[in-house]
A and B are shown apart, each in its own frame.
Chain A
C-alpha cells in the first residue's frame, strides 16, 4: 500500500512542473532568459537543458545538506551553490560548442539569478529528501524547457522560416522579422499566456459543469 502511494507521489512530483505549476506560464518565474534566448528553437532547447542541469544539481546538493544549513545563512548558501553549478555549466558549454556559447551569451551566467532555481531551493529542496527533489527538479526543468521551446519554435518558424536550422519554406519566404526582435518575444509570450489561460478556463468550466450535473443528478 505504502509503495503505491510513493509511486503516485513520484509521478505527480514530476508532472506538476509541466503543467499545473509550470514555472513560466503559471508562476511567471524566470522570464528574462525565456524571452532573450528563445529566438531560435536550438537556443531555447540548449538554455532549457542548461537550466535543468543547474536545477537538478543545485537542488540535489541543497537537499543533501538541508539538515546542516543553518536557517539564517540559508539564502547565501543556496546562492553560492547555485553560482557554482552555473559556472560549471558555463565552462561545459564553452567546451562543447563555442558557437552555442556565443549564441546564448551572458544568459548562461544569468541562470544564477533565475528566480526558479532559488525559489525551488527555498520552497522544496530544503524540505524534501534527495530523490523527490531531483525528480521535481527534472519536472520543473522540463516545464521550463517546454515553455522555452514553445516560444523558440514559433519565433524561429515565423521569424526566420526555419526549424532548428532546417529551412522550411524556401527562399521566397518573407520572414516576419519582428518575431526575432525583443518586441516579438514579448508579444508571442503574451499570446501563449493568453492561450494557456484560455485552456485552463475551459478545463475548470468543464469541471464545474460535470460537478453541477452530479449535484443535480
Chain B
C-alpha cells in the first residue's frame, strides 16, 4: 500500500496511529463520556462530524494564511474555526434532530476543547495533505475515535458488574483498561507497510 494512498491514510488514522490510543488525543471525552454505550456512540459520531467540518475549514484557512504569509496566526484561526464548527453542529442538531441534541446535552460544547480535533487540523497541515487526503484523514480519525470510545464503553459497562476495590474505582480503572486497549491496538502497526 502506498503511503500516499487514500486507503492507507484512512487505515493510518483509524487503526495504526489511532488518535486516542496511540496519539493520546481526545482523552477528556474518551474518559469522561465512555461510561455508557448510549452516550459514547453519539459522542463519537458528533465528533466525526465536527472533525469533517473542521478539516475542510482548516484546509481552506491554511490556503489563505500561506498565500498571505501570515502562518503565525494559524493556531488562533484554527481554534476559532473549531469553536465555530462545534457551535454550528449544535445549532444544526437543535433545529433538525432535537432528540439527539437533548441526549448529548453538555457533551457538545465539550467538543471544542477536544484535542483530537485541533490535533487533526494541525497534523493534516504538517503532513501537507491535499483536500481529498485531508478529508480521508478526518474520516479515518473520526472512525478511529468512535471505535475506541465504543469499545471502551462496552468494557466499562462490563466492569460495572465486577468487584472493584475502592482505590481503583473511577479513573484509575479506566486508564488501566485504556492501557490494555492501547497495547492491543499496537497489533495494527505495520498494517500497510509491507513490501
Q: CB-CB < 8 A to A178: which residues of B?
A: 183
Select from chain B the residue with minimum beta-carbon distance to A192. Answer: B172
Q: Does A203 contact B (CB under 8 A)?
A: no
Contact A91 B83 (CB under 8 A): no
19 more contacts with CB within 8 A, not counting A29-B28, A112-B79, A115-B113, are A28-B31, A31-B27, A31-B28, A32-B27, A79-B79, A83-B75, A83-B79, A83-B80, A84-B76, A106-B119, A110-B25, A112-B118, A113-B114, A113-B118, A182-B21, A185-B24, A186-B176, A190-B173, A193-B175
Choice from A28, A110, A187 contacting B118 with Cβ under 8 Å: A110
Q: CB-CB < 8 A to A184: which residues of B?
A: 179
A112 vs B78: C-alpha distance when bound (angstroms):
11
Q: Does A1 contact B (CB under 8 A)?
A: no
A87 vs B72: C-alpha distance when bound (angstroms):
7
Q: Does B144 contact A (CB under 8 A)?
A: no
Q: CB-CB < 8 A to B114: which residues of A?
A: 113
Q: CB-CB < 8 A to A75: which residues of B?
A: 83
Given A32-B28, A201-B166: A110 and B172 within 8 A (CB)?
no
The size class of the interface chain B forms with chain A is 35 or more
Q: Does A90 contact B (CB under 8 A)?
A: yes
Sorted nearest first, the 7 A-B pairs with minimum C-beta distance are A186-B179, A190-B175, A187-B179, A36-B24, A31-B27, A183-B182, A183-B183
Q: CB-CB < 8 A to A33: which residues of B?
A: 24
Given A110-B115, A183-B182, A187-B179: A80 and B80 within 8 A (CB)?
yes
Choice from B28, B122, B174 contacting A106 with Cβ under 8 Å: B122
Q: Does A86 contact B (CB under 8 A)?
A: yes
A residues bordering B, Cβ < 8 Å? 28-29, 31-33, 35-36, 75-76, 79-80, 83-84, 86-87, 90-91, 106, 109-110, 112-115, 118, 178, 181-187, 189-191, 193-194, 197-198, 201
Contact B126 A106 (CB under 8 A): yes
Q: Does B26 contact A (CB under 8 A)?
A: yes
Q: Does B167 contact A (CB under 8 A)?
A: yes
Q: CB-CB < 8 A to B173: which residues of A?
A: 190
Contact A187 B23 (CB under 8 A): no
A113 vs B123: C-alpha distance when bound (angstroms):
15
B residues bordering A, Cβ < 8 Å? 21-28, 31, 72-73, 75-76, 79-80, 83, 112-115, 118-119, 122-123, 126, 166-168, 171-176, 178-180, 182-183, 186
Q: CB-CB < 8 A to A106: which residues of B?
A: 119, 122-123, 126
Contact B179 A80 (CB under 8 A): no
Contact A91 B72 (CB under 8 A): yes
Select from chain B the residue with minimum beta-carbon distance to A178. Answer: B183
Choice from A90, A181, A201 contacting B167 with Cβ under 8 Å: A201
Q: CB-CB < 8 A to B167: which residues of A?
A: 194, 197-198, 201
B186 smallest CB distance to A (angstroms) = 7
Contact B115 A28 (CB under 8 A): no
